[in-house]
Amino acid sequence: MRYLSRRQFLASTATALVSSLALGPSLAYAQQSPASAQKLKGIVYTADEHGNSVSAIDLASGRVQTVPIPISPHNVQSTADGSRLLAVGGPAGDGHGHGANSAHDQKETKGRLLIFDAAKLSSGPMASIQVGNHPAHVVVDRAGQRAFVTNSGDNSVAVVNLAHKTIVQTIKTGRYPHGLRISPDGSESYVANVEDGSVSVIDTSMLTEVARIPVGKTPVQVGFTPDGSRVYVSLRDENSVSIIDTESRTKIGTIPVGRGPIQIHATPDGRFVYVANQGTDAEPADTVSVIEVASDKVVDTIRTGKGAHGVAVSDDGLLVLVSNITDGTVSVIDAAKRVVVATFRVGRGPNGITYHHSRKWGDRRSTFRIA
């Protein structure tokens, strides 16, 4: 899938360019195939870690809005109703790793959780809440009342009351907690602890760690099946995915995948799990592994862009969205055909990614740029 050329873009948007060449948020377009265009709907958000920005993609129109923000965001999460977007990260330009091997991961860096009105991204955050050192990921409960933030540098998870915009609890975890997800019934959160090869189980009512499960080397992210019976865990340095049985809270298997697996997400029907294989900075990978849950085997490998990192799945299961951190793009996969049907250029270094089915678009006070 190629982008609109400069000539094509200028021919179709010349008037808009003349009237809106100003500093501030930007809006771009990406090309789709005619066969896929009618299927694309909803809004996709990315945390553009290297660009200190967040991007919003309107899949129906192909428009991309990229908005500068005052942090280096590692992850984003939409609330269930789509009204708010949460972004978490360290100071602008700090970035974030997946372990304490880099210099910036060895120093204390307090991060922030930003809350945006999803319809007015360019207006800036509605709230900014200081969290812990090197915050990595954020998830929101179904009611939209609490956010859970992993503080990688503090070995903890911060629980934020979104109405009061305050931290109400800090929960100790394993070493260097990174990715986390809330169980489908909302009763637990599983947290991948990169440096001690474990997954913490947090009771979301008691707000305490109730178990710690050994899984393998460098777990980065977790993903529940829709029935909550299993959790799949990406093991970056093993090039594999571990499987946890949630009833017994034990590891029951391992599946080889591509190089450097990072984010992971199950489809709504529970049949497949998609794994983004990022590779390394020196040798970025560009694939997504498709695991069949019934057989616990990889049944397909899809080529996306370089540095495939984040994965989200549309609510209807028709689309899989992948952020490519090296290429600075988002790939849209047709889940039925398992092919990339659209590619969108976003801000630099797109890391975390989230999807919402809402067709609402943000405010129109945006300038245009050529992707």
Angle at alpha carbon of residue 215, lines to 330 and 80, rounded to 5°: 45
Instruction: State the Cα angle at 244 between 243 and 245, rounded to 5°.
Output: 125
Q: What is the pLDDT of residue 30?
A: 54
The answer to whether 40 and 353 are in contact (CB under 8 A) is no
Q: Determine the pLDDT at residue 358.
A: 73
Please give the Cα distance from 14 to 19 (Å, whole number): 9
For residue 256, the tally of other CB atoms under 10 A from its CB is 12
Q: How many CB atoms lie within 10 A of CB 100?
A: 16
Is residue 191 within 8 A of residue 211, CB to CB? The reply is no
Nearest to 321 by CA among 301, 300, 296, 342: 342
pTM, entire model: 0.87
d(CA 200, CA 197): 10
Domains of the chain: 28-368 (2.130.10.10)
Tokens of 177: 């907690």
pLDDT of res. 92:
86
Segments of the chain with pLDDT less than 70? 1-38, 93-108, 359-371
- What number of CA atoms fall less than 13 Å from residue 215's CA on the CB side? 38
Q: What would the pLDDT profile of 311-369 be if each residue is shown by its tens digit? A: 999 999 999 999 999 999 999 999 999 999 999 999 999 999 999 997 554 443 332 22
